[in-house]
Structure 1
Amino acid sequence: MSVEVRIDQGRIARLLRRRGGRAEQKLRERTRRVAAIAEAEAPGSMGKYISWKVAPGPGGMQGVIVCDHPAVHYVLNGTRPHLIKPRRANGVLRFEVDGGRVVYTKLVRHPGTKPNNFLARALREGR
């Protein structure tokens, strides 16, 4: 008696890429896990601006995590020291300092910030 086994690589590849298949389920789990870590690692309220999805890509399905907070670029890349001025010509800046004390000023000399690439850290931790 003899047994012959034929492997159709194209069929296996289609099976793995099928919508709703096991590979997509695992990709969804991993993407969700990485997004949850990114939310926890994000500074301040930035985690509320993180969303995720699984979408078709050039090589098959891919997990996509997005942070659409307006300052995310500055957090990820850091900033150099800079001046902060009011938007209006005769306006003032208002902010709170430690203890809730309110401060008004016409100019702030910001010392800059170090890069905080919380998205890359989440990706490494979520593997």
Structure 2
Amino acid sequence: MSVEVRVDAGRIARLLRARGGIVERNLRRRTVRVADIAERKAPGTMGSYVSWHIETGPRGLQGVVQCDHPVVRYVLDGTRPHIIRPRRARALRFQMGGRTTFAKYVRHPGTRANPFLQEALREGR
């Protein structure tokens, strides 16, 4: 008596990569975990702009976590010292020490980079 087992590698690979397959479920779980960490690490209200999706790319399925807040690039990369000038008025108006202050310009010291998306990816692995 003999037993023969044939493995169709192509079919196994298609089953694993199929929508809803094992690989996609695992990728979805990991992508959601990274997105949740990014939401928690994002400064201010930026966490509400974090989203995720699964897409088929040139190398197969990919989990994508993104933040589409208008100033996310400045937060991720930081800024150099710069001057802020009014756009539509003759002076800037802001609160400082509980008092209203007016100025023709302000020397901003710049901000440090906050790579919260990269940190979330590292923690989510």
Q: TM-score, normalised on structure 1?
A: 0.89
- Post-superposition offset of 1:27: 1.0
Q: What RMSD over aligned residues (CA atoms) do the two structures have, in Å?
A: 1.6
Deviation at 1:2, TM superposition (A): 2.5
Partner Cα separation in structure 2 for residue 57 and residue 64 of structure 1: 11
SS state of the match for residue 86, structure 1?
A: coil
Per-residue CA deviations over 1:49-73 (Å, capped at 9, x if unaligned) read: 1111111111211111110011111
**Matched residue, 1:2:** 2
Report how far residue 97 of structure 1 moved: 4.1
Aligned residues: 125
Q: Give me the whole-angstrom Cα distance separating, in 2, the residues matched to 1:74 and 1:33.
A: 24
* Separation of aligned partners in 1, 2:64 and 2:81: 32
1:96 to partner: Cα distance: 3.4
Distance 1:102 1:31 in 2: 45
Does 2:85 match 1:85?
yes
Hey, what's the Cα distance between the residues in 1 that align with 2:37 and 2:96?
29
Unaligned runs of 5+ in 1: none
Unaligned runs of 5+ in 2: none
Matched residue SS, 1:5? coil
Instruction: Give the share of equivalent positions with the same residue, in percent.
Output: 65
How far the C-alpha of 1:101 sits from its partner, in A, is 4.3
Q: Which amino acid aligns with 2:113?
A: P
What's 1:109 paired with?
107
4+ residue segments displaced more than 4 Å: none
2: CA distance, partners of 1:73 / 1:105: 27
Partner of 1:23: 23
Distance 2:93 2:2 in 1: 84
Question: What one-letter code is carried by the residue in structure 2 that aligns with 1:53?
Answer: H
How far is the alpha carbon of 1:114 from its aligned partner? 1.2
Question: In 1, distance between residues paired with 2:15 and 2:2?
Answer: 28
Alignment of 1:54-93 (within 5 A): 54-88=54-88, 90-93=89-92
